[in-house]
Chain A
């Protein structure tokens, strides 16, 4: 009983320490805060159900982060399939109520490849290192550096132009 309470306390502290930051990072990556929050919460539910084994991992937060990213990708695939079916049927597409946060930076982020968005979000928002970002995304560190370089160059160039125009 005490162990269970201790385990729940550990998970709760973990949740309070990483949940918000993870949601913000995935919001930057996918552009939708609702989808990001749902993906992170599902990841924490799975962690809660398997906490006895996950707590023995070297990096439980890394496991939760990877599961959340996979959930987000699954949701993106579901939305894509749904959109394809709607287009094939020729029906009127659902009116997407987009949050009014698509400012200039968000619009530029939406134009980047998904892997670059994820690399930028994990590195700059979640605060991971290059190695941690590579481990989370399952790619090499060189690939992460390439994505960071490409993404930063694109954003900095357009942001600089924007600042220059202002």
Chain B
């Protein structure tokens, strides 16, 4: 340090630096700036917390659409088989009435034979409808049980009883979602806002039998029904719904009474319900 000690130069430079600022005034200015900086920092912290809370609430409130699915209740012990609509045709009702599938024989249901696809290219979804020969679906009555409805499985003819699980495989709901028609019509039994001018088929089955119902212009008609071995099926009187009750015969001591209910849902589509008691 002694090598660079130069009192003349030191004095010159210190004189150049001036007398320096007022210490008291500088300290007051410092305190003011510290206060401003603290307030700014507090505002930033509060703002950050607010933004974080908002983002958190938004993330908690967000629910993806896929998570809001309805799951059927699994209580009561009764087996319930729901079958969604399998055939939707807005163009021509006569062409959709020719859907034919192999009926239940010996407890097996063949859903692969669908000859109507050749005549109806627009109907790409397979159908599990029972034979519908001779049924004129263009002028259905509220409850129309055709005279030619085929009891495809005669009583006592089947060698084995048809278990409920064999009739369960139906067309997946995702492939048979009906399209909403573009024109609307007023049907007394349904709300005016519900579209009804389309056709729809639905099948339901239970251990006592199976049935297929046709919906056209808001009117239900029974296409076919068949009883399983050891059961008799009875169609309830006409109303705004169709109920087929299948009871075991006298020789069947292990069977249960089952009901196949078809009705029009709030959305105008067919609702099929199978219950056993």
Give A contacts to B, CB under 8 Å.
12, 15-16, 19-21, 23-25, 27-28, 33, 37, 41-42, 44-45, 48-49, 101, 103, 105-106, 109, 120-121, 123-125, 129-130, 145, 148-149, 152, 155-156, 159
Contacts and interface: CB of A to CB of B under 8 A. Distances in A.
A126 to B, nearest CB: 9
Given A20-B21, A45-B33, 9 more contacts: A15-B23, A15-B26, A20-B23, A27-B18, A45-B30, A105-B15, A120-B9, A124-B13, A156-B9
Interface string B13-54: 111111011010011011001100110010000000000000
A41 B26 CA distance: 8
Contacts, number: 91
A45 B37 contact: yes
B12 interface: yes
B9 to A, nearest CB: 6
17 contacts: A15-B30, A16-B23, A16-B27, A19-B20, A19-B26, A23-B21, A41-B30, A44-B30, A45-B30, A48-B30, A105-B12, A105-B15, A106-B16, A125-B10, A130-B1, A152-B6, A155-B12
B13 A121 contact: yes
Instruction: Give chain A's interface secondary structure class.
Output: helix
B62 interface: no
B23 A19 contact: yes
B57 interface: no
